[in-house]
Amino acid sequence: MAENSNQRWINLLQEPVDITSAYRFLQTPAAGGISIFVGTTRQWTDGQETISLAYESYEPMALKEMHRLVDLAENHWPVHRTCLLHRLGKVPIAEASVLIGVATPHRPEAFKASRFLIDQLKIQVPIWKRELFSDGQEIWIQGANLPDPPNS
């Protein structure tokens, strides 16, 4: 395989995120660094206990936005492999809800691309989290920012 042929694995999952498979996918001789960020479901937020957590998505659009973000990352940094996985439906406490993985020649761009992808995913990709708290409250969580139209 040519060194410059980038590969990506982008998916929405109903099953647990398989971190080992993601790592295997990211391995390439072109990379000197692989960064894997895993977002997990937190039990306590500001003294409130979360009992369970579920994600819903506008799936076809979510996949398109994930691809668009990877396009942007590939335009900014020499990213040889990218992995963006998000789990949907119920995710038990402490399990992985999202995985961002990048393989780059050197570590600075691995950290930068990974940070960009998770930060942008949390603003742009149409996925929403519903939390059930121990006091019986069940609420949709809303992000702080409206998603941006491209090129705005």
Partner 1 sequence: MPTSSFKIRLFSVLKSKLKVASIELKTTEEITAGGLMDLACEQYPPMAPYRSIMRLAVNQKYVQDSNRLQDGDEIAIITPVSGG
Q: Is 61 in the site for partner 1 (CB under 8 A)?
A: yes
Q: Is 92 in the site for partner 1 (CB under 8 A)?
A: no
Q: Is 129 in the site for partner 1 (CB under 8 A)?
A: yes
- Considering only 18, 126, 132, 133, the residue that binds partner 1 (CB under 8 A) is 126
Closest-CA residue to 114 (of 69, 67, 62) = 69
- Considering only 1, 2, 94, 144, the residue that binds partner 1 (CB under 8 A) is 144
CA angle 54, 140, 150 (to 5 degrees): 95
Hey, is 15 helix, strand or coil?
coil
* Residue 11: CB minimum distance to partner 1, A: 13
Q: Is 125 in the site for partner 1 (CB under 8 A)?
A: yes
Radius of gyration of the CA atoms of the chain, in A: 16
Residues 95-114 that bind partner 1 (CB under 8 A): 97-98
Q: Is 57 in the site for partner 1 (CB under 8 A)?
A: yes
CA distance 83 to 30: 16
Q: C-alpha distances in angstroms, 134 versus 40, 57, 131?
A: 19, 24, 10
- Considering only 128, 133, 135, 137, the residue that binds partner 1 (CB under 8 A) is 128
Phi, psi of 102, rounded to the nearest 5 degrees: -135, 145
* Residue 139: CB minimum distance to partner 1, A: 8
Phi, psi of 47, rounded to the nearest 5 degrees: 80, -5
What is the binding site for partner 1 (CB under 8 A)? 39, 55-58, 60-62, 64, 86, 97-98, 118, 121-130, 140-150, 152
